[in-house]
């Protein structure tokens, strides 16, 4: 379930209550008259089935609630309520219902996609750890670097921006990656030089370092894993799965390659540095491709669901099945067999 806290002027709150009361997917509606002081107005609390949360929020936005007040969205992990069960069942029975809360996705990615000092610091730390892992041929250190890597946020933000055509978010996401990776590579390069100068690093990494060779030789499986990781990243955004764990998977394809660029450059092994840079480029492209493709599917499903909701509100017969929607999209009469009963 999704919990909504709505603040709106009294007249607008009454219209919002009519909307909420009419939806079978909304329950536990509480109306506090005059409870809000800044801005002044009423407070409405309610729970909405996750599948219909974006649709209900879309209706509230169409009423003008965000302009005159606010809508706060919270995820409810556990709710023991027969009314909530019935609301969830009503949402699950609706055609084209998906569980993506687009407002929450936009909020999360917009915040995580911004370039900040913390982001750059985490990038540097992750890449240095990976560089040491490459020098020592240590898999545990490589895994540790992937846990620290923060690049999942901007990558996800760019995917969301591409699908929603939000140039501002795309620019912020790209800037975070365009600044973060070069700085992280430069820091890995400098630390490797220090390790070589102090005699802590091996004499060369051309022989006996399987990890370095693996990271610097991109192939089909590199692209495939990155593509799947991008898809998994989007699924974590649009569902309740842990984004932290998915972030580790994203880092599998980026942080080690970035670190190896710096390490190989410090050894003047330009062949390996070029291979690692190619690996990083291929993996980033695959991450974007996988994320955008999966998110586009989610967005298309949501658009169909929203269209169906608008038709129902307008009293237009709601089509069902592929045949009904195909007829509607081509401007033809929807056959009776493809009209939802009662719609």
pTM confidence score:
0.75
Max avg pLDDT among 20-24, 200-204, 308-312: 20-24
Confidence label for 298 from pLDDT (cuts 50, 70 and 90): confident
Confidence of residue 211 (pLDDT cuts 50, 70, 90): low
pLDDT at 111: 73
Strand partners, 30: 45
Rounded mean pLDDT of 25-38? 93
Q: Are strands 40-48 and 2-8 parallel, antiparallel or unpaired?
A: antiparallel
46 and 188, same domain (yes or no): no
pLDDT score for 205: 73
pLDDT of residue 203: 80
Which residues make Cβ contacts (< 8 Å) with residue 86, sequence separation at least 6? 24, 27
89, 151: one domain: no
- Verify that 153 and 66 share a domain, yes or no: no
Q: Are residues 284 and 211 in the same domain?
A: yes
Q: What is the mean pLDDT of the chain?
A: 82
The per-residue pLDDT for 308 is 67
CATH number for position 24 = 3.30.70
Whether residue 39 is preceded by a cis peptide bond, meaning omega within 30 degrees of 0, is: yes
Question: Quick one: CA dihedral 146, 149, 155, 156, positive or negative?
Answer: positive
The answer on 77 and 25 residing in a single domain is: yes
Q: 17-31, 195-209, 220-234, 238-252 — which is least confidently predicted?
A: 238-252
* Tokens of residue 148, six digits: 């620290």
Mean pLDDT on 105-128: 86
Write down the H helix ranges in the chain.
10-22, 53-63, 65-68, 82-92, 102-112, 117-136, 139-148, 152-164, 167-197, 210-215, 220-238, 243-252, 255-266, 270-314, 321-329
CB 179 within 8 A of CB 151: no
**pLDDT tens string 212-266:** 666 777 888 888 888 888 888 877 777 655 554 555 566 677 899 999 999 999 9
- Whether residue 24 has pLDDT greater than 70: yes
* One domain, residues 128 and 58: no
51 in Cβ contact with 37 (< 8 Å): no
Final residue of a domain: which of 299, 315, 336? 299
The pLDDT assigned to 309 comes to 66
Predicted confidence band of residue 339 (pLDDT cuts 50, 70, 90): very low
Residue 338 has pLDDT above 50, yes or no: no
The pLDDT-based confidence of 324 (bands split at 50, 70, 90) is low
60 falls within a domain: yes
| HEC sequence for 185-218 | HHHHHHHHHHHHHCCCCCCCCCCCCHHHHHHCCC
Mean pLDDT of all residues in 105-129: 87
Query: 147 and 57 share a domain?
Result: no
Q: Is the pLDDT reported for residue 296 higher than 80?
A: yes
Domain that holds residue 249: 105-299
Instruction: Kindly report, residue by residue over 83-94, the tens digit of the pLDDT.
Output: 888 888 877 655
Say if residue 112 is in the same domain as residue 81. Answer: no
pLDDT score of 334 more than 50: no
| Boundary (domain end) residue, out of 45, 64, 94 | 94
* Structural domains in the chain (count): 2
């Amino acid at each position: 379930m999704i919990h909504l806290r709505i603040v709106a002027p009294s007249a607008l709150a009454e219209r919002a209550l009519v909307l909420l009361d009419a939806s079978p997917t909304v329950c536990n509606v509480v109306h506090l008259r005059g409870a809000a002081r800044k801005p002044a107005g009423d407070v409405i609390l309610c729970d909405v089935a996750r599948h219909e949360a974006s649709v209900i929020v879309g209706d509230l936005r169409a009423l003008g609630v965000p302009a005159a007040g606010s809508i706060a969205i919270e995820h409810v992990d556990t709710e023991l309520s027969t009314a909530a069960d019935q609301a969830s069942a009503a949402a699950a029975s609706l055609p084209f219902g998906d569980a993506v809360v687009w407002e929450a996705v936009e909020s999360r990615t917009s915040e995580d996609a911004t370039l900040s000092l913390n982001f750059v610091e985490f990038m540097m730390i992750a890449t240095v750890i990976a560089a040491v892992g490459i020098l020592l041929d240590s898999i545990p250190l490589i895994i540790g670097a992937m846990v620290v890597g923060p690049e999942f946020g901007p990558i996800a933000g760019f995917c969301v921006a591409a699908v929603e055509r939000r140039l501002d978010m795309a620019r912020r996401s790209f800037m975070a990656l365009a600044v973060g990776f070069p700085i992280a590579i430069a820091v890995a390069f400098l630390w490797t030089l220090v390790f070589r100068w102090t005699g802590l690093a091996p004499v060369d990494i051309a022989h006996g370092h399987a990890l370095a060779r693996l990271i610097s030789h991109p192939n089909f499986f590199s692209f495939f894993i990155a593509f799947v990781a991008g898809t998994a990243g989007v699924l974590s955004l649009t569902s309740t799965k842990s984004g932290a764990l998915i972030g580790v998977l994203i880092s599998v394809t980026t942080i080690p390659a970035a670190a190896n660029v710096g390490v190989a450059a410090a050894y003047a092994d330009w062949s390996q540095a070029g291979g690692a840079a190619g690996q990083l480029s291929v993996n980033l492209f695959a991450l974007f491709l996988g994320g955008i493709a999966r998110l586009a599917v989610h967005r298309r499903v949501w658009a169909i669901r929203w269209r169906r909701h608008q038709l129902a509100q307008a009293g237009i017969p709601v089509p069902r099945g592929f045949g009904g929607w195909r007829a509607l999209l081509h401007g033809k009469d929807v056959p009776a067999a493809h009209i939802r009963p009662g719609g």
